Structure 1
Amino acid sequence: MTQVELPDPVIRHPERPDVDLDALTRALRDRVQGEVRFDRGTRAAYSTDASNFRQVPLGVVVPHTPDDAVEALAVAREFGAPVLSRGGGTSLAGQCTNTAVVLDWSKYCTELESVDERARTCVVQPGIVLDELNRQLAGTGLRFGPEPATHMNCTLGGMIGNNSCGATAQRTGKVVDNIARLEVLLADGTRFWCGETTDEEYAELERHGDPRAAIYRQLRRLRDEYAEEIRRRFPDIPRRVSGYNLDSLLPEHHFDVAGLLIGSESTLVTVLRAELKLVPVLPERTLVVLGYRDIATAGDAVPAILPHEPVALEGVDHKLIRDQQIKDMNPQALAEMPEGRAFLMVQFAASTHEEADRQAQTMLDALQDTEHEADVAFLDDPAREHELWQVREAGLGATAHVPGKADTFEGWEDSAVAPERLGDYLRRLSELYQEFGYASDTGPSLYGHFGQGCVHTRIPFDLYTADGVATYRRFMERAADLVAEFGGSFSGEHGDGQSRGELLPKMFGDEIVTAFGRLKAIFDPDDRMNPGKIIAPYRLDENLRLGGDWAPADPQDLHFRFPDDGGSFAQAANRCVGVGRCRQHSTSGSDVMCPSYQVTHEEEHSTRGRARLLFEMLDGHGDSPVHDGWRSTEVRDALDLCLSCKGCKTDCPANVDMATYKAEFLSHHYEGRPWRRPRSDFTMGWLPAVAQIVGRLRAGKVVNALTHTPGLRRLATLAAGVEHREVPLFAGETLQQWFARRGTLADGARGTVLLWPDTFTNTFHPHVGQAAVRVIEDAGWRVTMPLNPLCCALTWISTGQLGAAKRILTRTVRELAPHLRNGGLVVGLEPSCTAVFRSDAYELFPGDQDVRRLRAQTVTLAELLTEHSPGYQPPRLDAKAIAQVHCHQHAIMGWDADEQLLEAAGVDAEHLDSGCCGLAGNFGFEKGHLDVSEACAERVLLPRVRDAAPDTAVLADGFSCRTQLHQLDSGGREGVHLAELLEFGLTKRDAR
Structure 2
Amino acid sequence: MRSGGVSAAALERDLAARVDGEVRFDAGTRGAYSTDASNFRQVPIGVVVPRSVEAGAEAVAVCREHDAPVLSRGGGTSLAGESTNAAVMIDWSKYCTGLLSVDPDGRRCVVEPGVVLDHLNDLLSPHGLRFGPEPATHNHCTLGGMIGNNSCGSTAQRAGKVVDNIARLEVLLYDGTRMWVGETSDDEYVETVRAGGRRAQVYRQVRELRDHYLAEIRRCYPEVPRRVSGYNLDSLLPEKHFHVARALVGSESTLVTVLRAELELVPVVPAQSLVVLGYPDIAAAGDAVRRVLPHDPIALEGLDDRLIHFEREKHLYPEALALLPEGSAGWLLVQFGGQTTEEADRKARAMLDDLCSSPHPPVASFFDDPAREAELWEVREAGLGATTRVPGLPDTWPGFEDSAVSPDRLGDYLRDLRKLYGEFGFSEASLYGHFGQGCVHSRIPFDLVTASGVGSYREFLERAADLVASYGGSLSGEHGDGQQRGELLPKMFGADIVRAFGQFKAIFDPGNRMNPGKVVAPYPIDDKLRLGADWEPAETETFFRYPHDGGSFSRAVLRCVGVGRCRREGGGVMCPSYMVTREEEHSTRGRARLLFEMLAGHPDSPIRDGWRSTAVRDALDLCLACKGCKSDCPVNVDMATYKAEFLAHHYAGRIRPLAHYSMGWLPLAARLASLAPRTVNALATAPGLTDLVKLAGGVARARAIPPFASESLQAWYARRGPRGSGRRGEVVLWPDTFTNRFHPHIGQAAIEVLEDAGWRVVTPGGTVCCGLTWISTGQLATAQRVLRRTTRLLHPYLRAGTPIVGLEPSCTAVFRSDAEELFPRDPDVSRLRQQTLTFAELLYDRTPGWQPPSLGRPAMVQTHCHQHAVLGFNADTALMREMGMDPRVLDSGCCGLAGNFGFERGHYDVSQACGERVLFPALRDAPDGALVLADGFSCRTQIEQGEAGGRQAVHLAEVVAMARFGDVPAARPEQAVERPSSPRAASLAVLPGLGVAAAAAGGLAARAAGQRIRDH
| Short-chain TM bin | over 0.9
Given that 1:708 and 1:727 are in contact with CA atoms closer than 8 Å, whether structure 2 keeps it comes out as no
| Residues 1:569 and 2:556 are matched in the alignment | no
Q: 1:550 aligns with which of 535, 542, 546?
A: 535
| Residues 1:650 and 2:638 are matched in the alignment | no
CA–CA distance in 2 between the matches of 1:536 and 1:326?
42
Q: Which amino acid in 2 is paired with 1:702?
A: T
Q: Percent identity?
A: 66
CA–CA distance in 2 between the matches of 1:990 and 1:638?
46
| Residues 1:692 and 2:671 are matched in the alignment | yes
Unaligned regions of 5+ residues in structure 2, if any?
970-1016
Give the drift of 1:873: 2.1
Unaligned regions of 5+ residues in structure 1, if any?
1-14
Q: 2:588 aligns with which of 604, 607, 613?
A: 607
| Residues 1:188 and 2:172 are matched in the alignment | no
Equivalent position SS for 2:752? helix
1:657-736 alignment runs, 5 A limit: 657-673=638-654, 675=655, 677-695=656-674, 697=675, 699-724=676-701, 725-736=703-714
**Paired residue for 1:762?**
740
Give the drift of 1:865: 1.1
CA–CA distance in 2 between the matches of 1:61 and 1:855?
46
**Paired residue for 1:579?**
563
Q: 2:190 aligns with which of 203, 212, 215?
A: 203
Given that 1:875 and 1:989 are in contact with CA atoms closer than 8 Å, whether structure 2 keeps it comes out as no
CA–CA distance in 1 between the matches of 2:968 and 2:606?
67
CA–CA distance in 1 between the matches of 2:270 and 2:794?
55
**Paired residue for 1:925?**
903
Q: Which amino acid in 1 is paired with 2:659?
A: S
Give the drift of 1:178: 0.6
**Paired residue for 2:468?**
483
1:45-84 alignment runs, 5 A limit: 45-84=32-71
CA–CA distance in 1 between the matches of 2:276 and 2:677?
61
Equivalent position SS for 1:520? helix
| Residues 1:173 and 2:164 are matched in the alignment | no
Equivalent position SS for 2:365? strand
Give the drift of 1:988: 5.2
Give the drift of 1:228: 1.2
Give the drift of 1:709: 3.6
CA–CA distance in 1 between the matches of 2:524 and 2:360?
42
CA–CA distance in 2 between the matches of 1:467 and 1:430?
22
**Paired residue for 2:511?**
526
Q: Which amino acid in 1 is paired with 2:714?
A: Q
Equivalent position SS for 1:582? helix
1:823-834 alignment runs, 5 A limit: 823-834=801-812
**Paired residue for 1:350?**
338
Give the drift of 1:871: 2.2
| Residues 1:494 and 2:486 are matched in the alignment | no
Give the drift of 1:711: 2.7
1:271-290 alignment runs, 5 A limit: 271-290=258-277
CA–CA distance in 2 between the matches of 1:275 and 1:17?
36
CA–CA distance in 1 between the matches of 2:309 and 2:685?
56
Given that 1:648 and 1:658 are in contact with CA atoms closer than 8 Å, whether structure 2 keeps it comes out as yes
Q: Which amino acid in 1 is paired with 2:768?
A: L
1:114-125 alignment runs, 5 A limit: 114-125=101-112
Give the drift of 1:373: 1.8
Q: 1:984 aligns with which of 948, 952, 962?
A: 962
Count of matched residue positions in the alignment of Structure 1 and Structure 2: 966
| Residues 1:448 and 2:418 are matched in the alignment | no
Deviating 4+ runs (over 4 angstroms): 988-991
Q: Which amino acid in 2 is paired with 1:431?
A: K
Q: Which amino acid in 2 is paired with 1:448?
A: G
Given that 1:317 and 1:446 are in contact with CA atoms closer than 8 Å, whether structure 2 keeps it comes out as yes
| Residues 1:950 and 2:928 are matched in the alignment | yes
Q: Deviations over 1:502-528 (max 9, x none)?
A: 000000000000000000000000000
| Bigger shift: residues 684-693 or 504-513 | 684-693
Give the drift of 1:952: 1.1
1:20-59 alignment runs, 5 A limit: 20-59=7-46
CA–CA distance in 1 between the matches of 2:475 and 2:345?
36
Q: 1:90 aligns with which of 67, 72, 77?
A: 77
**Paired residue for 1:472?**
457
**Paired residue for 1:973?**
951
| Residues 1:327 and 2:311 are matched in the alignment | no
**Paired residue for 2:620?**
639
Given that 1:444 and 1:457 are in contact with CA atoms closer than 8 Å, whether structure 2 keeps it comes out as yes
Q: Deviations over 1:233-273 (max 9, x none)?
A: 10111100000000000011110000000000000000000
CA–CA distance in 1 between the matches of 2:235 and 2:465?
24
**Paired residue for 1:3?**
none
**Paired residue for 1:7?**
none
**Paired residue for 1:745?**
723
| Bigger shift: residues 559-568 or 327-336 | 327-336
1:200-349 alignment runs, 5 A limit: 200-339=187-326, 340-349=328-337
Give the drift of 1:17: 2.1
Give the drift of 1:799: 0.2
CA–CA distance in 2 between the matches of 1:873 and 1:277?
57
Give the drift of 1:985: 1.4
| Bigger shift: residues 334-343 or 451-460 | 334-343
Given that 1:498 and 1:533 are in contact with CA atoms closer than 8 Å, whether structure 2 keeps it comes out as yes
Equivalent position SS for 2:605? coil
Q: 2:382 aligns with which of 394, 417, 433?
A: 394
Indicate the RMSD between aligned Cα atoms, in angstroms: 1.2
Given that 1:301 and 1:372 are in contact with CA atoms closer than 8 Å, whether structure 2 keeps it comes out as no
- Relative to structure 1, the CA distance from residue 988 to residue 703 in structure 2 (aligned partners, 3 Å threshold; closer, same or farther) is closer
| Bigger shift: residues 367-376 or 346-355 | 367-376
| Residues 1:514 and 2:499 are matched in the alignment | yes
**Paired residue for 1:915?**
893
Q: Which amino acid in 1 is paired with 2:248?
A: L
Given that 2:170 and 2:259 are in contact with CA atoms closer than 8 Å, whether structure 1 keeps it comes out as yes
CA–CA distance in 2 between the matches of 1:787 and 1:741?
12
CA–CA distance in 1 between the matches of 2:29 and 2:325?
47
Q: Which amino acid in 1 is paired with 2:667?
A: P
- Relative to structure 1, the CA distance from residue 736 to residue 273 in structure 2 (aligned partners, 3 Å threshold; closer, same or farther) is same
CA–CA distance in 2 between the matches of 1:289 and 1:708?
65
**Paired residue for 2:611?**
630
Q: 1:799 aligns with which of 773, 777, 780?
A: 777
**Paired residue for 1:153?**
140
Q: Deviations over 1:810-850 (max 9, x none)?
A: 10111011001001000000000000000000000000000
| Bigger shift: residues 603-612 or 357-366 | 357-366
CA–CA distance in 2 between the matches of 1:314 and 1:24?
47
Given that 1:17 and 1:82 are in contact with CA atoms closer than 8 Å, whether structure 2 keeps it comes out as no
Given that 2:109 and 2:264 are in contact with CA atoms closer than 8 Å, whether structure 1 keeps it comes out as yes
Q: Deviations over 1:887-941 (max 9, x none)?
A: 0000001111111111111111111110000000000011100110000000000
CA–CA distance in 1 between the matches of 2:918 and 2:687?
31
Give the drift of 1:741: 1.2
Equivalent position SS for 1:448? coil
Q: Which amino acid in 1 is paired with 2:458?
A: R
Equivalent position SS for 2:302? strand
Given that 2:3 and 2:45 are in contact with CA atoms closer than 8 Å, whether structure 1 keeps it comes out as no
* TM-score when normalising by structure 2: 0.94
| Bigger shift: residues 263-272 or 625-634 | 625-634
Given that 1:110 and 1:126 are in contact with CA atoms closer than 8 Å, whether structure 2 keeps it comes out as yes
CA–CA distance in 2 between the matches of 1:876 and 1:236?
65
Equivalent position SS for 2:565? coil
Given that 1:708 and 1:726 are in contact with CA atoms closer than 8 Å, whether structure 2 keeps it comes out as no
Q: Deviations over 1:51-108 (max 9, x none)?
A: 0000000000000111111111111011110001001000000000000000000000
